[in-house]
Amino acid sequence: MPTRLFFGNGAVRKLAKARLPEGCGLIITGGTSTTRLGYVDRVADVLRQAGHETAVYNKVQPNPTIEGVRECAALCRAAHISFIVGLGGGSSIDTAKAAAVMATNDGDWWDYVHGGTGGGKRIANAGLPVVAIPTTAGTGTEADPFTVITNGEEKIGGGGEKCFPAISVVDPDFMMTVPPHLTAYQGFDAFFHAAEGYIARTASPMSDMFALRAVELIGRSLATAVHDGGDREARAEVALANTLAGFVETLSSCTGEHAIEHALSAFHPALPHGAGLIMISRAYWSRFAEVSGERMAALARALGRTGATGAADFLAALSGLQKRCGVHQLRLSGYGVRPEDFGKIADNAAATMGGLFRADPRPLSREEIIGILADSYQ
């Protein structure tokens, strides 16, 4: 993981001494919260101390789009941008990664996407240097080489070794005001990055080490961060877990759970990614009880069930954590998902991110994927 990582409260100040190319930087962010809370100004001030002026693009959508990537890349070329700062949630950082590549390579980002209607090309040139500054603890994108971009009804992960951030600043001070429900959704996204990577066929002793530690930290501190967002220790532990889960994504892989959710939120952009994962999680994980019982028991022990011996212990621990975080009653029916669309969603998941299903502990049939959606409906 070649990214230079600064971690801890106040870590953003270290950007003043970080090595970045001379010239102007582009801060890519979304919505109004990063501006309203002063984060954009804080980052710009630190970079100004190091001699860098900055421009700002602040139109990133919660599910980042190919159109936003194109706008940012065009701005980079027109303004002769030297480096990019992704400031915000995964959507801002993923947009920054993709725009950085587009600014230095021919064609369109979708030319370099593998899956769906993507062109499947290899990225030829290194992108502009990216500084990732997450203001949420969920995606782990500060510690992996991937992006997730939506193009119409396709929401596909892409990237490669040229998409690692040059520098990542994980400053829990930037995460203190995330609302309780989003803290839960994002925390479970990080949790599933780690847990999926642990049961994935691509798991290794190195990814296992990071995965179990991330799960332990989330089990210990996520509910506290949800109910008391001002608890700095809990926020820091969830932030660390998120970054460790990003290591797991780099070293192992997500699994079919993420493929199914990406298809869901491609058709329903208002569905928060973490919420979708929570909704389908118990149905998804129950499908692997017979083949992954030992590994699921280890995850349960990391969640605090010291005597766990099988898959049932993990499913119980998972349900317990969701209940403590107040998200155990989420269902697909609450977000406009219709049963008659289950087949279309399953087909989209296989077509756009089918590679993740190959990381599952055993193959899932189309009927089983539809069954997972049905079990998660209401």
Q: In this model, does residue 31 exceed pLDDT 80?
A: no
Q: In this model, does residue 308 exceed pLDDT 80?
A: yes
Predicted confidence at residue 66, as pLDDT, reads 97
Arithmetic mean of pLDDT, 86-92: 96
Q: In this model, does residue 55 exceed pLDDT 90?
A: yes
Predicted confidence at residue 14, as pLDDT, reads 94
> What proportion of the chain, given as a percentage, has pLDDT over 70?
100
- Residues 186-205 pLDDT 10s: 999 999 999 999 999 999 99
Q: How confident is the model at residue 21 (pLDDT cuts 50, 70, 90)?
A: very high
Looking at per-residue pLDDT, the higher value among 168 and 17 belongs to: 168
Q: How confident is the model at residue 1 (pLDDT cuts 50, 70, 90)?
A: confident
Predicted confidence at residue 340, as pLDDT, reads 98
Long-range contact list for 375-378, CB < 8 A, 24+ apart? Answer: 375/282, 375/283, 376/279, 376/280, 376/282, 376/283, 376/331, 376/332, 377/331, 377/332, 377/333, 377/337, 377/339, 378/331, 378/332, 378/333
Arithmetic mean of pLDDT, 141-149: 96
Spell out the domains of the chain, with CATH numbers in brackets: 4-174 (3.40.50.1970), 178-375 (1.20.1090.10)
Arithmetic mean of pLDDT, 273-285: 98
Predicted confidence at residue 122, as pLDDT, reads 95
Closest CA to 87 of 25, 14, 32, 29: 29
Q: In this model, does residue 253 exceed pLDDT 80?
A: yes
Predicted confidence at residue 100, as pLDDT, reads 98
Arithmetic mean of pLDDT, 230-259: 98
Q: How confident is the model at residue 117 (pLDDT cuts 50, 70, 90)?
A: very high
Q: In this model, does residue 356 exceed pLDDT 90?
A: yes
Q: How confident is the model at residue 60 (pLDDT cuts 50, 70, 90)?
A: very high
Predicted confidence at residue 228, as pLDDT, reads 98
Query: CB–CB of 219/303 below 8 Å?
Result: yes
Arithmetic mean of pLDDT, 2-29: 95
Arithmetic mean of pLDDT, 98-103: 98
Predicted confidence at residue 358, as pLDDT, reads 97
Q: In this model, does residue 285 exceed pLDDT 90?
A: yes
228 vs 138: CA distance, rounded Å: 17
Least confident of 15-19, 100-104, 208-212, 220-224: 15-19
Alpha helices in 103-231 (DSSP H): 180-199, 205-227
Predicted confidence at residue 256, as pLDDT, reads 98
Q: Hunting for tokens 């203190």 — which residue is that?
A: 176
